[in-house]
């Protein structure tokens, strides 16, 4: 059994009139020491999926309407809130997109790490503080015994994200969920943070779910990839298989939109159109209005997930076909 098993996850936003589905039939697994990348445009449901796994949907109008999430043999959706909290920040931890605002501005960073440690481990304040200094040096914060008393506003974005990582790793989690951890950072700092995460993973064996809209980041760091489009997994495979053969026209579009530095072009490539809004009901494939391969079949019938090759699944009637 894999460490994390998400099966047929359904998430919906409740409005005054009805429930609008935002994530539909999403399934994937993550093993120990493995990194799964979830990639997609804004609003495709990747962040909601990660919040649902973590248990942070809370009192928002967004709720899980179907499917299951198993973690380490436990059915997370069947746990009480109290049992759930015992896992959060402990065996499962999360880092977020906005390092500038994800730390509480009025407390010293050390106190914020200590808080997480003492919530889950029976440590004295002094012991938790010593452990926090160790964690800060683990994430390569210079002068950790001094910086532990800094306030968040006294640190740069990259340093704050390191603090977030230190906090997330403080209780040796089995699973780390990273929701766009490098999006808000400079490119050079991005690389440092990703390297740090990879390094810590190889030392601790943590499983990572990395959410990103950046295929480049995914290609560099992940063992396998799930491409999401409007709440569904359009294509999923190991990173090597996926980039060897891009089956879904959306995945190809994403890859083509990455500018190539040594090619001189007047216009950057983009996928035409926009993601259909939640209110628009679709009968066929959600990508069909933007797809160059679309036929009448695509407009009437939503494609099912098919195993194109072992370990490489896709939701497209014309998977792997070019325009010809």
Nearest-angstrom CA–CA distance, 153 and 155: 5
Nearer to another protein, 56 or 198 (CB): 56
Q: How far is CA 314 from the centre of its chain?
A: 19
Nearest-angstrom CA–CA distance, 141 and 158: 10
Strands 175-179 vs 224-229: parallel, antiparallel or unpaired: unpaired
Please list, residue by residue across 11-36, b when 16 or more beta carbons sit within 10 angstroms of its beta carbon and e when fewer do. Answer: bbeeeeeeebbbbbbbbbbbeeebbb
Task: Please pick, from the candidates 2, 56, 198, 204, the single residue that binds another protein as defined by CB under 8 A.
Answer: 56
Phi and psi torsions of 78, nearest 5°: -95, -5
Q: Name residues whose C-beta falls within 8 Å of residue 117's C-beta, 6 or more positions apart in sequence.
A: 123, 128, 131, 132, 170, 171
Task: Please pick, from the candidates 8, 14, 15, 101, the single residue that binds another protein as defined by CB under 8 A.
Answer: 101
Give residues 103-142 in contact with another protein (rule: CB under 8 A). 103-106, 115-116, 119-120
Nearest-angstrom CA–CA distance, 148 and 125: 14
Residue 72 within binding range of another protein, rule CB under 8 A: no
Give residues 259-318 in contact with another protein (rule: CB under 8 A). none
Nearer to another protein, 94 or 285 (CB): 94
What's the maximum distance between 2 C-alpha atoms anywhere in the chain? 68
Residue 98 within binding range of another protein, rule CB under 8 A: yes
Residue span binding another protein (CB under 8 A) among the ranges 81-89, 137-145, 216-224, 261-269: 81-89
Task: Please pick, from the candidates 89, 110, 158, 303, the single residue that binds another protein as defined by CB under 8 A.
Answer: 89
Tokens 């950790």 belong to 144
Please report the beta strands in 17-113, taking only residues with DSSP state E, as ranges in sequence order. Answer: 19-30, 35-39, 62-71, 74-75, 92-95
The site that binds another protein (CB under 8 A) totals a number of residues, namely 28
Nearer to another protein, 61 or 205 (CB): 61
Residue span binding another protein (CB under 8 A) among the ranges 31-39, 95-103, 131-139, 211-219: 95-103
Residue span binding another protein (CB under 8 A) among the ranges 50-58, 130-138, 191-199, 283-291: 50-58
Residue 254 within binding range of another protein, rule CB under 8 A: no
Tokens 């709440």 belong to 231
Residue span binding another protein (CB under 8 A) among the ranges 97-105, 121-129, 221-229, 272-280: 97-105
Residue 14 within binding range of another protein, rule CB under 8 A: no
Residue 151 within binding range of another protein, rule CB under 8 A: yes
Residue span binding another protein (CB under 8 A) among the ranges 14-22, 87-95, 266-274, 307-315: 87-95
Nearest-angstrom CA–CA distance, 273 and 269: 12
Q: Given phi > 0 = left and psi -120 to 50 = alpha, else beta, which region is 212?
A: beta
CB of 161 to another protein, least distance (A): 12
Which residues in this chain contact another protein in the complex, by CB under 8 A? 54, 56, 58, 84-90, 93-94, 96, 98, 101-106, 115-116, 119-120, 151, 153, 164, 167
């Amino acid at each position: 059994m894999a460490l994390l098993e998400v099966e047929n996850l359904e998430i919906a936003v409740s409005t005054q009139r009805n429930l609008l589905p935002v994530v539909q039939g999403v399934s994937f697994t993550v093993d120990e020491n493995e990194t799964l990348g979830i990639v997609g445009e804004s609003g495709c449901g990747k962040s909601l999926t990660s919040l649902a796994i973590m248990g942070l949907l809370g009192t928002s109008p967004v709720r899980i309407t179907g499917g299951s999430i198993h973690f380490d043999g436990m059915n997370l959706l069947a746990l009480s809130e109290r049992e759930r909290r015992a896992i959060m920040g402990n065996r499962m931890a999360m880092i977020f997109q906005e390092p500038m605002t994800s730390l509480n501005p009025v407390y010293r960073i050390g106190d914020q790490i200590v808080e997480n440690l003492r919530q889950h481990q029976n440590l004295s304040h002094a012991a938790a503080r010593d452990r926090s200094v160790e964690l800060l040096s683990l994430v390569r914060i210079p002068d950790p015994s001094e910086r532990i008393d800094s306030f968040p506003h006294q640190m740069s974005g990259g340093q704050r994200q390191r603090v977030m990582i230190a906090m997330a790793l403080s209780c040796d989690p089995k699973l780390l969920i990273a929701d766009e951890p490098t999006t808000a950072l400079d490119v050079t700092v991005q690389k440092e943070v990703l390297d740090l995460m990879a390094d810590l993973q190889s030392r601790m064996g943590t499983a990572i779910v990395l959410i990103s809209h950046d295929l480049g980041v995914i290609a560099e760091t992940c063992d396998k990839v799930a491409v999401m489009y409007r709440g569904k997994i359009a294509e999923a495979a190991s990173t090597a298989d996926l980039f060897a053969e891009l089956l879904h026209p959306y995945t190809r579009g994403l890859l083509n939109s990455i500018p190539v530095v040594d090619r001189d072009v007047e216009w950057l490539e983009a996928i035409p159109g926009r993601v259909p809004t939640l209110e628009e009901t679709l009968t066929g494939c959600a990508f069909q209005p933007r797809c160059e391969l679309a036929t009448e079949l695509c407009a009437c019938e939503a494609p099912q997930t098919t195993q194109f090759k072992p370990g490489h699944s896709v939701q497209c009637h014309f998977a792997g076909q070019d325009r010809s």
